[in-house]
Amino acid sequence: MKLRTFLHKSGAGSRRFCDRMIREGKVTVNGRVVKEPWFEVDPEKDKVKLWGKNIKLINPKSVTYAFYKPVGVSSTLNDKFAEKTILDFTRDIGTRVFPVGRLDRESEGLMILTNNGQLANFLTHPRYQIEKEYIVYVEGKKINRDILRKLTKGVYTDHMFFKTTQGSATSFNR
């Protein structure tokens, strides 16, 4: 197994983080500094350390949680500017999970948290065309009929198309 994969599956961090730690010489295998992420390790025989701390491969069962993200919580695991992140809610569940998709800090709503990469890819990759539905309430601004008509036709943002339905459109403040 590649060293980067071993570290990532052990829960040490994201793939990018693990690659960076290896390249910076923070990882040893059997007492020797290894700087190649593709270095082959045997999880049964080799002793891997990160910052001098023993790292063991964990083989967690696939878990998936429905999480209702409150307003004020960042939907990432690590955000130095956020007061609270999803990680603050998942520290004690016994396995590392990551969010599927994003909600901005001022939004609330249901999110999927999982350690199953295949499920996350299936739910988020455009090729699978999984439909997501959002209900948006607009406050502090009058919505006239022209704006409402444009919203019901749909909105493009960052290569994504959002379309409101007639039922949802009535949710907008007028």
pLDDT per residue over 10-19, tens digit each? 878 888 888 9
Strands 98-100, 109-114: pairing is antiparallel
Which of residues 28 and 62 earns the better pLDDT score?
Answer: 28
Structure tokens at 24: 């910076």
pLDDT (mean) for 4-32? 89
Domains with residue ranges and CATH for the chain: 3-55 (3.10.290.10), 64-125 (3.30.70.580), 133-174 (no CATH)
Query: Are the C-beta atoms of residues 137 and 172 closer than 8 Å to each other?
Result: yes
Cross-strand pairs, 33: 28
163-170: long-range contacts at Cβ-Cβ below 8 A with a sequence spacing of 24 or more? 164/136, 168/135, 168/136
Q: Which of 42, 79, 88, 104 is catalytic?
A: 104
Active site residue 104: yes
Which of residues 165 and 140 earns the better pLDDT score?
Answer: 140
Q: Give yes or no for residue 164 having a pLDDT over 80.
A: no
Query: Are the C-beta atoms of residues 104 and 85 closer than 8 Å to each other?
Result: no
Query: Are the C-beta atoms of residues 50 and 41 closer than 8 Å to each other?
Result: no
* CA 60 vs CA 8, 18, 19, 96: distances in Å: 12, 19, 22, 9
- Rounded-to-10 torsion of CA 136, 142, 148, 154: -50
Query: pLDDT (tens digit, 9 = 90+) per residue, 87-117?
Result: 889 888 877 788 988 888 888 889 999 888 7
